[in-house]
Amino acid sequence: MWSSPRKVAAAAALLTLAAALPALAGFRILEADPEFPQDVTTSWFQGGKARVDGALEGLSVIVDVKNGEGWLIDSTSKRYAGGKIGELAEELRKLEGTQTDDVAPPPAAPAKARVVEVKDIGDGGRLQGYATHRYQVLVDGELLEELWLAPKLEVAREIDLAAFGVTLQRMLGGGAGLNQGYEESEPYRKLRAVGYPLRHVLYFVGEKSTLEVTSVTIQDFPEADFAIPKGYAQSGYTELLLGE
């Protein structure tokens, strides 16, 4: 049996340890293109899950990176669709196959490994009250991304952002500029673990697009924010994705 003073000392030590540990909480982040500030995308990240509103017209996207699941939610029609990411990707692949000519294309040449280079540009200034560091991502010598990362905005403690991006691409299909084949590379994955991009510039086929964070909220969010609402009817996945 511990004596009373030892119990007090042990309790004090535990309280000190708890105070030293970072408080874990989720993140809600609002982003917009500065040229179109009315078009806001809202993202929630917590416990290996993500939810995105505003990126797809009329649909919310929920991704469970840990369990490899993804869902589309249509609050207007009160429908939902989704499941395992691999199954959704296969469904999209089959759909794309029916939309091409019946003549099979010639076999593709083996894909050449792409050279991914991350350049440290230096201090990026303060955005939304956070100190940022600026990086460039070059693929085969071509500039494809610029990121102003905030190391103190530790979204990566809640979700693997690179894995989230790849999962989202598989769930929604290719799309112009959505995935260019380098996001799973080791240099890129390490970069995305550094911090969250408060400014993100993408270059694709001569075009430039910018997303800037306009608001950051850090708190615990209810599990219901990452779940299918009760009473919604299940729908076909491609049907809901294509707005049918």
Tell me the CA distances in angstroms from 222 to 158, 205, 211, 225, 226, one per residue in order: 14, 40, 27, 6, 8
The answer to whether residues 68 and 85 touch, using CB atoms and an 8 Å cutoff, is yes
Average pLDDT over the chain, rounded to an integer:
83
Highest mean pLDDT among 47-56, 97-106, 166-175: 47-56
What does the alpha-carbon distance between residue 75 and residue 231 come to, in Å, rounded to a whole number? 11
pLDDT at position 2: 39
Q: For residue 168, which of 183, 186, 188 has the smallest C-alpha distance?
A: 183
pLDDT band at 111 (very low <50, low <70, confident <90, very high): low
pLDDT at position 6: 38
Burial degree of 88 (CB within 10 A; 0-12, 13-18, 19+)? buried
Q: For residue 135, which of 150, 118, 151 has the smallest C-alpha distance?
A: 118
Measured in whole angstroms, the distance separating CA 120 from the mean position of its chain's CA atoms is 22
The answer to whether residues 76 and 58 touch, using CB atoms and an 8 Å cutoff, is yes
Q: List, for residues 138-191, the tens digit of each pLDDT value.
A: 999 999 999 999 999 999 999 998 889 889 888 887 543 445 668 888 999 999
Name the superfamily (CATH) of residues 26-97+111-241: Lipoprotein localisation LolA/LolB/LppX (2.50.20.10)
Between 115 and 96, the higher pLDDT residue: 115
Average pLDDT over residues 45-57: 93
Report CA dihedral (92, 185, 218, 169) to the nearest 10 degrees.
-10
Average pLDDT over residues 118-146: 96
Least confident of 19-23, 100-104, 125-129: 19-23
The answer to whether residues 227 and 74 touch, using CB atoms and an 8 Å cutoff, is no
pLDDT at position 59: 93
What does the alpha-carbon distance between residue 33 and residue 38 come to, in Å, rounded to a whole number? 9
Average pLDDT over residues 210-220: 96
pLDDT at position 179: 52
Amino acid of residue 244: E
DSSP 107: P
- Sequence ranges of the domains in the chain: 26-97+111-241
pLDDT at position 96: 75
Average pLDDT over residues 63-72: 94
The CA-CA-CA angle for residues 172, 85, 40, to 5°, reads 40
pLDDT at position 25: 86
